[in-house]
Structure 1
Amino acid sequence: MSINTSTACHKDSTKHINIIPVCMYSCISIVGLIFNLTALVFFFSHTKSRSQTIVYMTNLAIADVLLILTLPMRIYYHLGFSGLPQWLCDGLGLVLKANMYGSIFLLTSISFDRCMAVTFPMSTCVQEGRKKAPLVCLGIWMLTFGASLPIYLSRRQVSHERCFDNLPVYATLPMVVLPTLLLGFWIPLVIMLICSWHLVRAIRLSTVAQTDLVDSKKIQKMIATSLLVFLLSFLPYHTTLLLLSLYRENIPCPMLAAYRYSLMVACFNTVLDPIVYYFTTDTFRNVGVRAVWRMFPLNSRSSENRVPNNN
């Protein structure tokens, strides 16, 4: 079925250079690696003042670096070279997909953590929950790689393998694609939208947003940037994944090409994530908890003496 479609649409990558994948993956590898390694150096050099958000961003940078390290083999393959063992292709594909969904969950965690810090700054329960950020990250790593293993194992039984030009046969099964879309994209997107709405609302209700103490426009730009990065990176991939599942018995060649390009766009997230790092660390580090706490009219009058310092 879809394997035959893959064969009909496939152009043998071992005989010529696929210039677009080579250029895209090369750009992502170089720029993304520089940006994320720079971010990791910054994060690890500020271990004494690490907030929960920094914990999530550190793990996000690590996930991005791991994804980027799988791209040189894709460049090698699209340059027209042959000889890559199928187990290596499948293993690198597993690492790429696991870290892609790890990035999605970590971006969602950053948004949720930021929302909790602003909305409930004095709640002991919330602050104690935020301190479990390392455990949340560990759970994300276990979930993403554990959920990706069935895909890796299922490909052992698929014939006509073509390394990185394979169709996501297992991932487009109805019993797989629906949980993937729901848990791996739509629920995180809804959480990010709700958290962003609460943050924007908090800014608009603040008593200091009109002063120089808080740069409300910059915070709103940060919120919009986070959402835009998420949508630009992952909406095309999950849209094409849904279309592939609907037409999996007879997939048109343009749809197969769209899937491959959407995967490149998803990988480009590793370059866009440092933009999120910049806005988050720069804005919230400069604003500080005292300013955020005073953004609420009631709090600005009732708690002059007690300000948490664990953000």
Structure 2
Amino acid sequence: MWNNITNPNNNNSTGHVNIFLVCMYSFIFVVGFLFNLLALVFFFYQTKSRSQTIVYMTNLAIADVLLILTLPMRIYYNLGFDDLPQWLCDVLGLVLKANMYGSIFLLTCICFDRCMAVTFHMSTRVSEGRRKAPLVCLGIWMLTFGASVPIYLSQRKHVSNKDCFHSLPVYATNLAVVLPTLFLGFGIPLVIMLICSWGLARAVRRSSVAKTNLVDSRKIQRMIATSLFIFILSFLPYHAILVLLYLYGENIPYPMQAAYRYSLMVACFNTVLDPVAYYFTTDTFRRSVDMGRRMIPLNSQNSDSNHRSRMPNS
């Protein structure tokens, strides 16, 4: 997987070429950029039927594109060249990590919005809350970049002799950064994804419409399972490696360092898998919302309260 190449005539060569990472990052760059660009074109044309989910997915596609644009420099580095300035490596790493966690939060918002739309379709408070999707997206952008900048500034001050993309980040060894990264950046979103996926699947199973031919309940359940599978497959390995790196402390063996780089590549591969979630969401979510409007008796309490609110006070 690693090929040792020594070129005495090239002072910019690191002597190591990772063919596997070069191929994978190249695939992610070409396919991910194309798919997400097509998704953005489709989303921007949905001006008449722009829903809250489309708003989240548009921001998710933008985050994926920004992440993908950092990959050519990683391809260049893994080809065996280390002549990249350190400030550029820090900026590219900042953009990649910020957009990775932005993708995590946006995927969580999509799942939460989907669950609320189907399970509490009669609630006016939920409907009003869902209309604040643009503000939620703005908050996510501010949170991800606002939290990442101080981390990278502290990394520049306390870590010397870094090797661009080869060195481990400060949040892999600093407890004050590891815990918020694991719990706020992945743990809490994962719990929300699991609860909302379970709630949406439960709502589909309880629906009387699901027993008819009006909607394809199996396709809706595949949508739920696919979205959750993509989330876990993309981000669980990376954060599991972060836990192991912290447990090793300062004496981190080389295999663990290599595992970190490969888990980061798997997290970047999420930009290719997200368009699969777009397809299921745009095609199937409308049907699940229609199912939710016909559900009996998922929101009987809301219906009763709405009925009572319409009755004149005696």
Relative to the length of structure 2, the TM-score reads 0.89
Aligned AA for 1:199?
L
Unaligned segments of structure 2, at least 5 residues: 1-11, 307-314
CA contact 1:39–1:274 (8 Å) conserved in 2 = yes
CA contact 2:220–2:284 (8 Å) conserved in 1 = yes
Aligned AA for 1:274?
P
Residues 217-244 of structure 1 show CA distances to partners (whole Å, capped at 9, x for unaligned) of 0000000001100000000000000111
**What is aligned with 1:281?**
282
1:182 and 1:96 map into 2 onto residues whose CA distance is 19
Deviation at 1:77, TM superposition (A): 0.9
CA contact 2:36–2:64 (8 Å) conserved in 1 = yes
**What is aligned with 1:59?**
59
1:115 and 1:66 map into 2 onto residues whose CA distance is 28
Residues 14-49 of structure 1 show CA distances to partners (whole Å, capped at 9, x for unaligned) of 234210110110000000001100100000011111
**What is aligned with 1:126?**
126
Aligned residues: 291
**What is aligned with 1:148?**
148
Unaligned segments of structure 1, at least 5 residues: 1-11, 307-311
**What is aligned with 1:21?**
21
RMSD: 1.8
**What is aligned with 2:263?**
262
2:155 and 2:222 map into 1 onto residues whose CA distance is 42
CA contact 2:25–2:265 (8 Å) conserved in 1 = yes
Aligned AA for 1:185?
F
**What is aligned with 2:213?**
212
Q: Is the partner of 1:209 in helix, strand or coil?
A: helix
**What is aligned with 1:109?**
109
**What is aligned with 2:8?**
none
**What is aligned with 1:236?**
237
1:98 aligns with 2:108: no
CA contact 1:151–1:171 (8 Å) conserved in 2 = no
1:66 and 1:149 map into 2 onto residues whose CA distance is 16
1:29 and 1:190 map into 2 onto residues whose CA distance is 30
Superposed counterparts of 1:193-212, under 5 Å:
193-212=194-213
2:104 and 2:290 map into 1 onto residues whose CA distance is 30
Q: Is the partner of 2:239 in helix, strand or coil?
A: helix
1:229 and 1:298 map into 2 onto residues whose CA distance is 28
Tell me: CA distance 1:193–1:72, structure 2 relative to 1, closer, same or farther (3 Å).
same
Q: Is the partner of 1:122 in helix, strand or coil?
A: coil
Residues 151-207 of structure 1 show CA distances to partners (whole Å, capped at 9, x for unaligned) of 211222221111110111344211111111001111101001110111111111111
CA contact 2:22–2:79 (8 Å) conserved in 1 = yes
2:73 and 2:43 map into 1 onto residues whose CA distance is 28
**What is aligned with 1:5?**
none
1:219 and 1:91 map into 2 onto residues whose CA distance is 40
**What is aligned with 1:173?**
174
Deviation at 1:299, TM superposition (A): 6.5
Residues 261-280 of structure 1 show CA distances to partners (whole Å, capped at 9, x for unaligned) of 00000000000001110000
**What is aligned with 2:273?**
272
1:283 and 1:170 map into 2 onto residues whose CA distance is 38
Which range moved further: 191-200 or 13-22? 13-22
Q: Is the partner of 1:212 in helix, strand or coil?
A: coil
Deviation at 1:298, TM superposition (A): 6.5
**What is aligned with 2:3?**
none
Q: Is the partner of 2:17 in helix, strand or coil?
A: coil
2:290 and 2:274 map into 1 onto residues whose CA distance is 27
Tell me: CA distance 1:235–1:289, structure 2 relative to 1, closer, same or farther (3 Å).
closer
**What is aligned with 2:309?**
none
1:63 and 1:296 map into 2 onto residues whose CA distance is 38
1:86 and 1:117 map into 2 onto residues whose CA distance is 46
Deviation at 1:288, TM superposition (A): 6.3
1:270 and 1:224 map into 2 onto residues whose CA distance is 18
**What is aligned with 1:34?**
34
Aligned AA for 2:27?
C
**What is aligned with 1:164?**
165
CA contact 1:17–1:78 (8 Å) conserved in 2 = yes
Question: Which structure is larger by alpha-carbon Rg, 1 or 2?
Answer: 2
CA contact 2:114–2:285 (8 Å) conserved in 1 = no
